[in-house]
Amino acid sequence: MSSQLLKPAILTGLLGLSVVNMSAQAATNNNGKINNKGKNPTASLQLISLNTDDVPLDDGADYLSDIADMLESADQVDDSIDAVADESALSNGSDAIDTDIPDEVAQVSLNAISPETLKTFVAVVDLVRREYVDAVNDEELFNNAMSGMLTKLDSHAEFLDAEAYENLRAFTEGDVGDIGIKVQYQPKEGYWVITEVIDGSPADKKGIAVGDYLHQVDEFKLGEEEESNDIDQLLTGIAGTQVDVVTSKAGRRKHTTTLQRNNNHPQIIETRLVDGMAIIRLPAFQNNSREKLLQSLIDLDAPVTAVLLDMRDNPGGVLASAVSVASLFMTDTDVVQVKGRQSDSRTLSTQGPALLEALPVMVLQNRYSASAAEVLASSLQAQKRATILGEVSYGKGSVQSVIPLNDEQAVKLTVANYMTALGKKIDGVGVEPDVTLLGNESTWEHQALDLLRQQALPSGIRFVRKAQAENNAHYDEKATKNEATKNKVAQKNTLIKHVVEKPTAKDKL
C-alpha cells in the first residue's frame, strides 16, 4: 500500500502552535472530506482473535497508518515554530512525499496494543449504540473518542472540529474567545451562579442555562475567595481552544461539560500617553502584533519617554510574534529555548532593528499572563532590559502543533517545551516579578507609572513613518535658515524611520 502527503502549504508558529497544512490521500476523498459518507463507521468493526499474533492491515488500518505517517512527518518540522517555513524538510525538492509503508511495518503486532483493549473498545462502542438512552450519532461518538484520547494526554492537546479549527486559524489575526456566559457569586447560595448565557454560544448549545451553578473551570475549584475577574480569565482564552466546566442545576448532581471557546471577540492593542510615558495594553500575540504596536505609537503623534507594557491577562498566542515584539527592544539577543522529544534544543533570537531600544521599559503581568507573554517577559528580564512588575505569571511552557487532518478538522498536540533564554523552566513555575505589586490590581498601573517615571528619558522619541519623516525634513529645510535651529528641532523630535514594514489599510486608501 502506498500513499502520498501533499507538500505543506503553511508552516507558522502559533502559541507555540505550529500549523502544518498537509492531507493524506487515503484519508480523504476528492473534496478533502473524510471518506465515510454513506458508511457506518462501526459497521466493519470486528473482534480480533486473541490467538493471533499478527494482524494484516485492512482498509481501515491503512487509513490509520496514513494518519500515523502524517503525524510522523509533522514531528519532523515541529521545531520550526519561528514561522520560517522549512519546506525542504518535508518536500526534499519534490512536490509530494513518498510515504510507501516499509515491509517491516506492513503488519502490526498485537504486542503494540493489548488485544483485550481492542476487544473492550469495540464492545463499548457496540454497547453504547445498542443500549444508551438516546440514539447516538456514530460520527459524534468517534469524534468524542478522539477528543478523549487527546485530552487525557494533557490539558492542551485536543481534537479540533470544523468550528474550533477555523477559530484557531482566525486567532492568528486577533481573536480571543470564551464560552458565552457571565457568572456572579451569590453569598446566600454559597456558589457562583450563571447570570447570562449568550444565545448560540458554546454554553448555550450544550444546555447550560441561567441559574446553573458553576463549581469548577478545568482544574480550578471555585469558592468565595475568587473574584469575578478570576472567573472571566479562566473562561477566556485563545479562540478555538477548549475548557472543561463543572456545573449543576440547584440541588442536583454536578456535570462536567467540555466546551470550545468559540464566542469570539477581536483584540485591540490600546496605547495611551500619561506624562510622556506610553502605556501599551497587549492582550494577546497575533501575527501582526509587532506592526500594530508600532502603529499605536505612531498614532500617539507625540514624543515618548518610556514604555509600560501591560500584559496582564494575556493568554499567549503566536510564539514567533513574541519574538518579533522582543526584537523591538533588544538587538541580537536570545529570547527562548525550545526542546522537542526528537530534536536538540533550539534558541530563538531577536532579528531586525530594535526600534524601541532607547526607551526604558517596565512590564505588568498577573497570574493569567501565560505562554508567549511569559516568553517575552522572561527574555526582557534575563537581559535586564525591563523590570517585571506584578505577580508570578501562569507558568505555561509547552508548545503545541496544530496538524490538519483535512480541510475541516485538525489535532492540536503538545510537541515541545520551552524555557527562558537562560535555561530556566517556565512550565508549572511561571516568571517571578522583580517587584511584587500589592493591593487591588486596579491600582497596579498607577504604582507602575510611579516607578517608571524615575527612569523616563528627559526628552522623548516621536515615532513617524519614513515618508512622513522625509516630508518633515524637507519642510524644516525650507523653513529653517540656520543649522542651530535644525539641530534643536531634531533633538525634540527624534525620527524613527521604517517603523512599519507593511502599509496599513489607511495608507492604501
pLDDT at 192 (0 to 100):
94
Contacts of 270 (CB under 8 A, 6+ apart): 280, 281, 296
Give the burial string for 24-39 (b: 16+ CB within 10 Å, else e).
Answer: bbbbbeeeeebbeeee
Query: Which residue type occupies 472?
Result: N
| Residue 57, pLDDT score | 31
Among 86-95, 212-221, 256-265, 491-500, name the one with the lowest average pLDDT: 86-95
Taking 60 as the threshold, does the pLDDT of residue 90 lie above it?
no
**Cell numbers at residue 255, please?**
456535570
Closest CA to 202 of 148, 247, 254, 152: 247
Q: Is the pLDDT of residue 508 over 60?
A: no
- β 435-436/387-390 pair status: parallel
Any alpha helices (H) in 429-497, and if so which ranges? Answer: 444-453, 466-479, 483-492
Q: Could you tell me which residues are beta bridge partners of residue 178?
A: 263
What's the chain's average pLDDT?
Answer: 74
Look at residue 412 in the predicted model and tell me its pLDDT. Answer: 85
pLDDT of residue 256: 92
Looking at residue 60, what is its pLDDT?
36
pLDDT digits (tens, 9 = 90+) for 183-226: 999 998 889 999 999 998 999 999 999 999 999 998 889 988 88
Q: Can you tell me the distance from the alpha carbon of 156 to that of 336, in angstroms, rounded to the nearest whole number? A: 20
Cα separation of 4 and 90, whole Å?
A: 12
Amino acid (1-letter code) at residue 178: D
Nearest-angstrom CA–CA distance, 75 and 411: 13
pLDDT of residue 463: 93
Q: What is the pLDDT of residues 151-184, one digit of tens each?
A: 888 878 888 888 777 776 665 554 678 899 999 9
The DSSP line for 417-429 is: EEEETTS-B-TTT
- Residue 289, number of CB atoms within 10 A of its CB: 23
Distance CA 462, CA 378 (A): 27
Residue 131 has pLDDT above 80, yes or no: yes
The whole-number average pLDDT for the span 37-54 is 34
